[in-house]
Amino acid sequence: MLDLKFLRDNPEIVKQNIRNKFQDAKLPLVDEVIALDEEKRKAKQEADALRANRNKVSKTIGMYMAKGMKEEAQAAKRLVTENSAALAALEAKETELDEKITKIMMTIPNIIDPSVPIGKDDSENVEVQRYGEPVVPDFEIPYHSDIMESFCGIDLDAARRVAGNGFYYLMGDIARLHSAVISYARDFMIDRGFTYCIPPYMIRAGVVTGVMSFAEMEAMMYKIEGEDLYLIGTSEHSMIGKFIDQIVDEKELPYTLTSYSPCFRKEKGAHGIEERGVYRIHQFEKQEMVVVCKPEESPVWFDKLWQNTVDLFRTLDIPVRTLECCSGDLADLKVKSIDVEAWSPRQKKYFEVGSCSNLGDAQARRLKIRVNGKDGKKYLAHTLNNTVVAPPRMLIAFLENNLNADGSVNIPVALRPYMGGKEKLIPTKK
């Protein structure tokens, strides 16, 4: 969410940013919120004047009574009553206008970084760099769920009977591999100086609206019926929410946190042939990284965060590339975002396995996360987040890139301690 004063002083900058994000339908909102803000400030001025006059008149009542001037005292009381009624109406108007302004401000997109490429949608995202050599083997690679089935490692039919589409049972070596990847990712981030956290898996509506846009909320979140609680779509939600309404000391920054959680998502929209199996699902687990820092430090942390993901995937022998998200592909709260995509030898293309985002002070403004500076002045923190690893989708890349012609799967050296020392997985079913 933008600073209202910034919008008021720079309406054309805000409008151009909206155009850059190809959201022209939102252009009238800028003038609308400016008009509402002007009306609110006028109501506040009138209310302040009424308060001052009421206080002034109230002081005369005692004086009139002391002098026996009952009629004058009664007139003063009537005026105070009239002022109080008018003041109540103005205060109600202020509240109503403030709610309207906040609702609009939460739909106006954040100002994107100047380095963000301008484009309408994800088809115009820009490749930044490749890491590792993408290889297509000389044998056919089965679909990922077929690879898992060769190890008796997945049961989608049972999951459909129990919970419907978009769920799964992982078993045996595949389940162990899933847990090994999560544990390895946890230790990988701890070794890089991040504090390990396990957060709440449900959050209140006030946190949800603080960390994401209304459009994202509607598309992603599961609501707990009858309660002010939502299942988290990622641990970033509850990790950033940890600082809601807090004033943190500048010397404590940055907070560098890595969190584990299950994640729950509606995943609305089309589900193509390549998104069956465990690619697009309603429930999965993820290791996340979150940073809360000073504004001037967020660009540096942004680069550190996506590099962590690249480094982790390379230790698991998975080629990856980074992709700069264009303006039209950025969620409204984001200043800048880079996706990490893993190589799929079967599809002969890359696919998304993680996303790194700098949200500037947008989440901090919504959640009132402030920093107490050295000079005693308070300012809003910057927040960033990035996926460390999100199996089981990550398992697709792992299995495809480590598969051998005989159906066995190599276990990279880094992961062997988490797999009981195994160097290779051997299929149990042909």
pLDDT at residue 48 is higher than 90: no
Residue 382, CA distances (Å) to 196, 204, 336, 356 in order: 20, 22, 12, 14
Question: What values do phi and psi take at 326, rounded to 5?
Answer: -80, 170
Give domain status of residue 78, yes or no.
yes
The string of pLDDT tens digits covering residues 306-358 is 999 999 999 999 999 999 999 999 999 999 999 999 999 999 999 999 999 99
Q: Which helix (H) or strand (E) holds 7?
A: helix 4-9
261 and 389 together in one domain = yes
* pLDDT value, residue 50: 75
Q: Which of 41, 75, 105 is the last residue of a domain?
A: 105
What is the per-residue DSSP string for 393-429?
A: HHHHHHHHHTB-TTS-EE--GGGGGGGTT-SEE--S-
- What one-letter code names the amino acid at 89? A
Structural domains of the chain, count: 2
Give domain status of residue 113, yes or no.
no
pLDDT at residue 273 is higher than 80: no
Give domain status of residue 115, yes or no.
no
* pLDDT value, residue 147: 96
The string of pLDDT tens digits covering residues 203-212 is 999 999 999 8
- The residue behind tokens 């005693």 is 376
* pLDDT value, residue 215: 73
Distance between CA 332 and CA 106 in Å, rounded?
Answer: 9
100 and 146 together in one domain = no
231 and 324 together in one domain = yes
- Whether this prediction's pTM lies above 0.85 is answered by yes
126 and 100 together in one domain = no
26 and 74 together in one domain = yes
Q: Which of 105, 139, 168 is the last residue of a domain?
A: 105
Residue 383 belongs to domain with CATH number: 3.30.930.10
Give the range of the structural domain holding residue 323, as residue numbers without chain letter. Answer: 122-425
pLDDT band at 64 (very low <50, low <70, confident <90, very high): low
pLDDT at residue 45 is higher than 60: yes
Give domain status of residue 114, yes or no.
no
